[in-house]
């Protein structure tokens, strides 16, 4: 690419984005931009630069068919979800796959093997590894770090200002609650009538250190797809306080997406709520505070009592801006204790495990405190609570090392120490040691340690009897709380199979997906006929299910005894499996006369296609298909046909 030459988009059509750089993906940031292809596959893709084919990666999931071009400028240009390569690249890939006996290959090429020039046709767009047709496009630095194309010369006709929908407040100390008994709140905002200006009508009264959340989005055209905002800046009383911008990323920092964004909002489908303060463990280099406060308001005494005005500025890459204005009154803590009184009844108690602790609710008007018990021993007490706007008394209880395993909470009256109520629960503070085990008898065992969590936290376990489906289980079912939380790395879960369990060798650990209303098989094939086990990066409902149904093959395009007028027939069929699913290409074996065929499978559609690497000899042929799912169920099929 010449020194003054404008960077070239890989499609010839007008660029329309469906996803932006830095958007949320499960467990990572979106490292590129997604270009719409009109809902179809087979759109021609062109090289953005002069260079050579540096790498090709093939898989059923994730990037699908991926092409990497190293430019003469030293940068790496990446194209994902392709349907086909040009003929020269296709031949090189098929040769390597046939030699390896695998569809999954990760190939690197020398600089003189497959040269390309700017504007050269290299592939067709597709749907491989994903569910909707589009082209994923990345630009990476010579050090293989993703950089934002829109910050590096790739232009768009974008005249749309970012849009604010809500502002959030997150308390960050170890004891405070908002007036309605929560640690966080997201409040709707509205436009002022002036283009690009938004405001929160009410003035917030705050007395405890807090961080700000911003729910906002950007799009490049009216009615276009929503993306995350490129840059957000928080200012208080005219001084910059915190800034977050997506100019570049690093793959090793991918899990930080749930710290840069608000993870609870992600789980509810609102994937563009950003934190404008430093969360413990977040080392993303695109965010920074202007001071030692880390973006937390009121943490270092830098905010004086009185009225303050804050502004959040949202900017895209093309100088379109919007502002959200809100005011807050900073003052001393409000009266948090109810009037002293006595109660002679048993209290109704409840609890909620939140990201940074436990909120305990007591239906009382008494002046009370909380005692924490484990193994019939008193572990500690919590006395900081408040009477909330709904008339309930609530405590916030942070995780402490002495609360490693809690089995009951007791509420006592401060006057006389009378027990007003107790609450049995199964709760543990985790994240203190290298290896920790949290078990409920032998039924469920959770294993992790401080390397699995960014900071110590509570995990609770509840046995569930009211199941969302009538499917037969092979174990007791348990809900791990909170159902959504941030982890540094996956932790382990194992369940004991019931004594009367059926098909133990076909059982696996499963997680219930509330949004899709289906069980997800997460077993890691560590079954020993008495337990199932697997990794998890959060809570929710877990149980052991069995899968005894083999995969099914439908719409096979070769009939018994059929004559095909080609020596390289394309084999096509639909592959379906109910629960455990197909792991990878090693579970699909397709052969003609013993010759292995490269199996191309699309999990989203079930389509499976394959063709011989070498031309067949005219005459009678035997097609065999052998497929095994992750539970070990197997289907075998054969067809005799003829080619000429």
Of 139, 173, 155, the residue nearest 51 (C-alpha)? 139
Predicted confidence band at 86 (pLDDT cuts at 50, 70, 90)?
very high
> Rounded to whole angstroms, how far apart are CA atoms 315 and 150?
12
pLDDT above 70: residue 341: no
Residue 246 has what pLDDT? 98
> Rounded to whole angstroms, how far apart are CA atoms 596 and 611?
9
pLDDT above 80: residue 436: yes
What is the DSSP code string of 593-638? Answer: TTEEE--EEETTTTEEEE--SSPPPSEEEEEEEEEE-TTS-EEEEE
Q: Where are the alpha helices (DSSP H) in 332-467?
A: none
pLDDT above 80: residue 5: no
pLDDT above 50: residue 340: no
> Rounded to whole angstroms, how far apart are CA atoms 410 and 541?
27
Predicted confidence band at 392 (pLDDT cuts at 50, 70, 90)?
confident
Q: What angle do CA 63, 68, 72 make, to 5 degrees?
A: 160
Terminal C-alpha separation, the chain:
49
What percent of the chain is modeled with pLDDT above 90?
85
Residue 368 has what pLDDT? 85
Residue 358 CA, distance from chain mean position: 24
Q: What are 573-614's pLDDT values in tens digits?
A: 999 998 999 999 999 999 999 999 999 999 999 999 999 999
| Burial status of residue 534 (CB atoms within 10 A of its CB: 0-12, 13-18, 19 or more) | buried
Residue 338 has what pLDDT? 42
Point out which residues pair with 313 in neighbouring strands. 233, 323
Handedness of CA 510, 512, 516, 517 (dihedral sign): positive
- The total of other beta-carbon atoms located within 10 Å of residue 110's CB is 9
Residue 376 has what pLDDT? 87
Residue 565 has what pLDDT? 97
Residue 343 has what pLDDT? 41
Residue 526 has what pLDDT? 63
Q: What are 196-235's pLDDT values in tens digits?
A: 999 999 999 999 999 999 999 999 999 999 999 999 999 9
Q: What are 416-434's pLDDT values in tens digits?
A: 888 888 999 999 999 999 9
- Does residue 1 or residue 442 have the better pLDDT? 442
Residue 622 has what pLDDT? 98
pLDDT above 90: residue 337: no
Residue 159 CA, distance from chain mean position: 30
pLDDT above 60: residue 114: yes
Residue 638 CA, distance from chain mean position: 41
> Rounded to whole angstroms, how far apart are CA atoms 627 and 633?
8
Query: Per the omega criterion (within 30 degrees of 0), is the bond before 482 cis?
Result: yes
Phi then psi dihedrals of residue 596, to 5 deg: -70, 135
Residue 322 has what pLDDT? 98
DSSP 292: T
Predicted confidence band at 363 (pLDDT cuts at 50, 70, 90)?
confident
> Rounded to whole angstroms, how far apart are CA atoms 172 and 391?
24
Residue 527 has what pLDDT? 64
- The total of other beta-carbon atoms located within 10 Å of residue 586's CB is 13
- Does residue 340 or residue 24 have the better pLDDT? 24
Residue 346 has what pLDDT? 64
Q: Tell me the residue ranges of DSSP E strands in 515-618.
A: 518-521, 531-536, 540-546, 552-554, 563-564, 571-576, 588-592, 595-597, 600-602, 607-610
What percent of the chain is modeled with pLDDT above 70?
97
Predicted confidence band at 310 (pLDDT cuts at 50, 70, 90)?
very high
pLDDT above 50: residue 524: yes
Mean pLDDT, residues 330-350 = 61
Average pLDDT, the chain: 93
Strands 33-36 and 204-206, bridge-based pairing: unpaired
pLDDT above 70: residue 254: yes
Sequence-separated (6 or more) residues with CB below 8 Å from residue 442: 496
pLDDT above 70: residue 142: yes
Domains of the chain: 17-151 (2.70.70.10), 163-330 (no CATH), 349-429 (2.60.40), 431-546 (2.60.220.30), 552-643 (2.60.40.1220)
| Burial status of residue 620 (CB atoms within 10 A of its CB: 0-12, 13-18, 19 or more) | exposed
Residue 334 has what pLDDT? 59
Residue 200 in 3-state DSSP?
coil
Contact 67, 131 (CB under 8 A): no
> Rounded to whole angstroms, how far apart are CA atoms 33 and 154?
11
Residue 561 has what pLDDT? 97
Mean pLDDT, residues 90-115 = 97
Contact 186, 215 (CB under 8 A): yes
pTM for this entry: 0.93
Mean pLDDT, residues 332-350 = 57
Sequence-separated (6 or more) residues with CB below 8 Å from residue 275: 170, 211, 212, 213, 244, 259, 260, 261, 262, 282, 295
Q: What are 22-71's pLDDT values in tens digits?
A: 999 999 999 999 999 999 999 999 999 999 999 999 999 999 999 999 99
Mean pLDDT, residues 395-409 = 95
Residue 482 has what pLDDT? 96
- Does residue 588 or residue 346 have the better pLDDT? 588
Contact 203, 142 (CB under 8 A): no
């Amino acid at each position: 690419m010449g020194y003054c030459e404008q960077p070239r988009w890989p499609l010839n059509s007008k660029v329309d984005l469906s996803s932006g750089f830095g958007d949320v993906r499960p467990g990572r940031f979106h490292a590129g931009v997604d270009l719409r292809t009109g809902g179809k596959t087979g759109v021609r893709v062109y090289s953005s630069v002069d260079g050579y084919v540096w790498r090709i990666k093939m898989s059923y999931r994730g990037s699908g068919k991926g092409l990497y071009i190293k430019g003469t400028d030293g940068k790496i240009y990446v194209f994902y979800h392709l349907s086909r390569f040009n003929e020269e690249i296709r031949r090189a890939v098929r040769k390597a796959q046939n030699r390896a006996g695998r569809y999954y290959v990760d190939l690197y090429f020398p600089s003189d093997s497959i040269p390309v020039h700017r504007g050269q046709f290299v592939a067709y767009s597709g749907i491989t590894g994903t569910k909707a047709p589009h082209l994923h496009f990345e630009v990476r630095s010579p050090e293989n770090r993703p950089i934002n194309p829109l910050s590096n010369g790739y232009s768009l006709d974008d005249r749309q200002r970012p849009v604010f929908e809500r502002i959030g407040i997150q308390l960050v100390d170890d004891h405070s609650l908002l007036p309605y008994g929560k640690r966080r709140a997201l409040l709707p905002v509205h436009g002022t009538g002036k283009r690009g200006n938004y405001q929160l009508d009410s003035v917030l009264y705050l007395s405890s250190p807090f961080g700000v959340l911003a729910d906002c989005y950007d799009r490049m055209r009216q009615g276009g797809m929503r993306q995350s905002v490129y840059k957000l800046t928080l200012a208080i009383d005219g001084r910059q306080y915190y800034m977050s911008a997506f100019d570049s990323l690093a793959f090793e920092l991918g899990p930080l997406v749930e710290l840069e964004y608000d993870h609870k909002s992600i789980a509810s489908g609102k994937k563009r709520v950003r934190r404008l303060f430093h969360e413990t463990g977040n080392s993303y280099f695109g965010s920074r505070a202007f001071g030692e406060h880390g973006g937390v308001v009121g943490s270092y005494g830098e905010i004086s009592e009185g009225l303050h005005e804050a502004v959040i500025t949202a900017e895209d890459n093309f100088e379109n801006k919007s502002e959200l204005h809100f005011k807050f009154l900073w003052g001393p803590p409000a009266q948090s204790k109810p009037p002293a009184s006595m109660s002679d009844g048993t209290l109704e108690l409840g609890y909620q495990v939140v990201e940074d602790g436990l909120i305990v609710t007591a239906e009382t008007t008494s002046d009370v405190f909380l005692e924490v018990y484990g193994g019939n021993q008193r572990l500690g007490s919590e006395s900081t609570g408040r009477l909330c706007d709904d008339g309930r008394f609530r405590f916030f209880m942070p995780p402490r090392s002495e609360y490693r395993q809690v089995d009951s909470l007791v509420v006592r009256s401060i006057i006389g120490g009378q027990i007003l109520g107790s609450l049995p629960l199964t709760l543990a503070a985790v994240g203190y040691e290298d290896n920790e085990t949290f078990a409920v008898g032998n039924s469920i065992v959770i294993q992790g340690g401080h390397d699995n969590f960014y900071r110590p936290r509570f995990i609770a376990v509840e046995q569930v009897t009211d199941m969302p489906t009538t499917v037969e289980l092979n174990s007791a079912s348990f809900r791990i709380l909170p159902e959504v939380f941030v982890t540094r790395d996956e932790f382990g879960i194992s369940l004991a199979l019931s004594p009367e369990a059926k098909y133990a060798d076909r059982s696996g650990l499963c997680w219930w997906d509330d949004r899709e209303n289906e069980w997800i098989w997460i077993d890691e094939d560590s079954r020993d006929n008495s337990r199932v086990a697997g990794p998890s990066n959060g809570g929710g409902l877990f149980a052991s299910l069995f899968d005894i149904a083999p995969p099914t093959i439908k719409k096979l395009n070769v009939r018994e005894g059929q004559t095909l007028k080609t020596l390289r027939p394309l084999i096509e069929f639909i592959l379906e499996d109910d629960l455990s699913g197909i792991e990878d290409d090693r579970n699909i074996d397709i052969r003609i006369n013993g010759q292995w065929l490269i199996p191309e499978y699309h999990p989203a559609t079930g389509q499976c296609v394959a063709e011989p690497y070498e031309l067949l000899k005219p005459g009678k042929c035997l097609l065999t298909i052998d497929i095994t799912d992750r539970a070990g169920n197997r289907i075998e099929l054969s067809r005799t046909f003829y080619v000429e």
